[in-house]
Amino acid sequence: ALTGEALRKGKQSSGAMPLRVTIHWDEASEEDRNLQLSMKLPKKWWGGPVSKVTDFFVEYYNGKFKDNPLDGKKIHAENAGGRKFHADDVVEVAFTHKEHIYLKDGAPPRNEQKEREELESDPTRLTCQNYGCQFRFREEDNHTKACWHHRKGPVFWNGYKYWACCEDRKAYDWNDFMKVPGCVCGPHSTEKPKGAELVSPTIIAARQAEAEAQQRQAAPKLNDIKRYTEKSIKEEASKPKPKPKTKENLPQGCGRCVHMECKKLFSFKENHNKACKYHRGRAIFHDGAKWWSCCSEHRKSYDWDDFMKIPKC
């Protein structure tokens, strides 16, 4: 899609292509007070807002029908297909040559994208730190019922995302997780909630490994190879010895299938080429999803039981 700037440059380089529109007002209670105005838009309007064109029409209309004036703030512009224009849309991007524009009752629609950009760049706004909020607010607008949020923090477990206070509202997708409605109401706050952080065992293990790495880095270095060897032998001796694996006693003439999703006990005599259904690929676990490398990725599953029920290939 071409940006407004690209469209403006294209029109300017194409040899002063005119921009003519026909504006209609068909909402009057009396038919003779409806108005249709064809006009060639001046070049200086092209890069301006649509409201410039609608305001001109309103001024022209009110001059013609002084006893029944229009309120420019209570009407909006639409094209023949019913698409509503924002008041701050750029004229040459919104309108096309010889297009018919219809003015309708009702204020112009909100430009939510522009509002979000202005909201993010407004230095007077603060960011709420309540769980599940993150709304940018002004302190003077804050009150006791301004913020719906969660009492407890997020939990990420086995692909699931949910709030500890609302365990029955689990989600896999991040956007769905952030749309879970808050369960308590109160004022916005710039202070991060206090209390234990709820994280998955994976994150706990990663943080523990990071702490151990920092301890090793902070420990005094051993430059003497003999001292280093003695230290390693002592550390190894202090570790508990692993329990020896007990060999399974299988019946005579029987074995256990090594395929990951089978593991069944079988008789060598009764074994044949179609005795075992299994996946020839390997299991893949990524971002909470589970699937087999030999099967289509479209057969992903998030639940372990559903994953194990995927038909063998």
What's the confidence (pLDDT) of residue 7?
46
What's the confidence (pLDDT) of residue 199?
59
Q: Report the pLDDT averaged over residues 9-17.
A: 50
Q: pLDDT class for 24, splitting at 50, 70, 90?
A: very high
Count of residues making up the chain: 313
Rounded CA gap, 304 and 273, in Å? 28
Least confident of 11-15, 43-47, 63-67, 222-226: 11-15
* pLDDT tens-digit series, residues 61-104: 999 888 888 998 888 999 988 889 988 889 988 898 899 999 99
Q: pLDDT class for 9, splitting at 50, 70, 90?
A: very low
What's the confidence (pLDDT) of residue 291?
85
Q: Decide if pLDDT at 297 tops 60.
A: yes
Average pLDDT, the chain: 82
Q: Decide if pLDDT at 37 tops 70.
A: yes
Q: pLDDT class for 21, splitting at 50, 70, 90?
A: very high
Q: Decide if pLDDT at 1 tops 60.
A: no
Q: Decide if pLDDT at 5 tops 60.
A: no
What's the confidence (pLDDT) of residue 214?
80
pTM: 0.38
Comparing 149 with 284, the larger pLDDT belongs to 149
Residues 6+ away with beta carbon under 8 Å from 45: 52, 53, 91
Q: Report the pLDDT averaged over residues 289-307.
A: 80
What's the confidence (pLDDT) of residue 197?
55
Rounded CA gap, 258 and 68, in Å? 88
Q: Decide if pLDDT at 23 tops 80.
A: yes
Most confident option among 41-50, 151-160, 172-181, 227-236: 41-50
* pLDDT tens-digit series, residues 126-168: 889 999 998 888 888 899 999 999 998 888 877 788 898 998 8
* pLDDT tens-digit series, residues 167-224: 888 888 888 888 899 999 999 999 988 764 555 566 667 777 888 888 777 766 656 6
Q: Report the pLDDT averaged over residues 105-112.
A: 82
* pLDDT tens-digit series, residues 269-282: 989 988 888 888 88
Least confident of 32-41, 85-94, 239-248: 239-248
